[in-house]
Amino acid sequence: MEELIQTIVDGVAIGSLYGALALAVVLIFRSTGIVNFAQGEMAMFSTFVAWGLLQADVPLGLAVVMTLGIAFLGGMAIERILIRPVEGSDPLTMAVVTLGLFILLNSAAGWIWGFETRSFPSIFPDDSVQLAGADVAVESLGIVALLLAVVGLLYLLFQRTKIGLAVRAVSVNPESSRLSGISVGRTLMIGWGIAAMVGALAGILIAPRLFLDVNFMGGVLIYSFAAATLGGFDSPFGAVVGGWVIGVTENLASTYVDFIGSDLKILVPLTVILAVLLIRPSGLFGSHEVARA
């Protein structure tokens, strides 16, 4: 029983991290229709920035805040320079461009910071608390709380501010938004900035668990794609719930199904993606895609 509770709580924690990255993917997909394959690598790059700041003796808290700021600016720059010229083109072009960004960021990080594996400090104390008779790490609870806080802030941002309203308007109809005086380009830049920031936070929270190297977000990206697919790809709420489901399923499967173990964990997201797309392509909370020929 204790093991079960621990497995589940840990699954929710790791699932929150998948959910955070999925949230970043969904934010960009909603506003531009682009599945950003480089989202994980953007987060990886940001985490390395945080690591670099730590090496320069910047205190952890300040390093995290600075990194989030840098990620925001970096996301805006990527949208303006790389994505703007191909916005609205066919899926192949967009997939190739974000893949190019994926490879570029991965290699650039290797060039700048090397290919070694590094440890990254957790922003939470290394402690545990009793929960229903099981020891639960403070880190796990902290991650879940932080994700909920991020979702709450994003909700407020989108529903209660003018910028949020503009982002929602642009995602529904860029043409009409432009006619009503919204700067579509600037709004999309802000969307990419926010997504990059959420991704960076995910990276910083995952790095202590997986250790930091240039490829550490590759697997996480697939899990968060699975989370986003399960949630419905255009639903931020769905992304978070999807993340939890994936995280818990993955942990339960690798603990209790011998065949899967720790080697074949990757089959969990793959199966989920396939199953969702085949059975219910719009996911749990997504809106149905309506295509006009």
Amino acid type, 277? L
Q: Least distance to another protein from the beta carbon of 244, Å?
A: 19
257 binds another protein per the rule CB under 8 A: no
Alpha-carbon span 216 to 206, nearest angstrom: 9
91 binds another protein per the rule CB under 8 A: yes
Q: Least distance to another protein from the beta carbon of 91, Å?
A: 4
Q: Which of 56, 92, 132, 179 binds another protein (CB under 8 A)?
A: 92
Q: Which of 257, 227, 292 is nearest to 40 (CA)?
A: 227
106 binds another protein per the rule CB under 8 A: yes
Which range, of 59-67, 95-103, 152-160, 199-207, touches another protein by CB under 8 A?
95-103
Burial of 265 (0-12, 13-18, 19+ CB in 10 A): middle
Q: Which of 195, 153, 191 is nearest to 31 (CA)?
A: 191
Q: Least distance to another protein from the beta carbon of 127, Å?
A: 33
Contact set for another protein, span 200-219 (CB under 8 A) = 218-219
CB 189 within 8 A of CB 28: no
Alpha-carbon span 40 to 23, nearest angstrom: 12
Beta strand extents in the chain (DSSP E only): 128-131, 134-137
Contact set for another protein, span 108-137 (CB under 8 A) = 108, 110-111, 115
Q: Which of 4, 103, 153, 257 binds another protein (CB under 8 A)?
A: 103
Q: Which of 19, 191, 232, 269 binds another protein (CB under 8 A)?
A: 269
Nearer to another protein, 12 or 94 (CB): 94
* Residues β-bridged to residue 134: 131
Q: Which of 229, 235, 251, 254 binds another protein (CB under 8 A)?
A: 229
253 binds another protein per the rule CB under 8 A: no
How many Å is the Cα radius of gyration of the chain? 19
170 binds another protein per the rule CB under 8 A: no
Query: How many Cβ atoms sit within 10 Å of the Cβ of residue 88?
Result: 11
For tokens 């074949």, what's the residue?
Answer: 264
For residue 193, give the 3-state DSSP assignment.
helix
Nearer to another protein, 5 or 118 (CB): 118
Which range, of 147-155, 239-247, 248-256, 275-283, touches another protein by CB under 8 A?
275-283
Size of the site for another protein (CB under 8 A): 47
CB 116 within 8 A of CB 110: no
For residue 212, give the 3-state DSSP assignment.
strand
Torsion of the alpha carbons at 32, 38, 39 and 40, rounded to the nearest 10: 160
281 binds another protein per the rule CB under 8 A: yes
Q: Which of 105, 200, 212, 239 binds another protein (CB under 8 A)?
A: 105
Tokens of 109: 């990080």
Tell me which residues touch another protein (CB under 8 A): 34-35, 37, 82, 85-86, 88-97, 99-108, 110-111, 115, 218-219, 222, 225-226, 229, 263-264, 266-267, 269-270, 273-274, 277-278, 281, 293
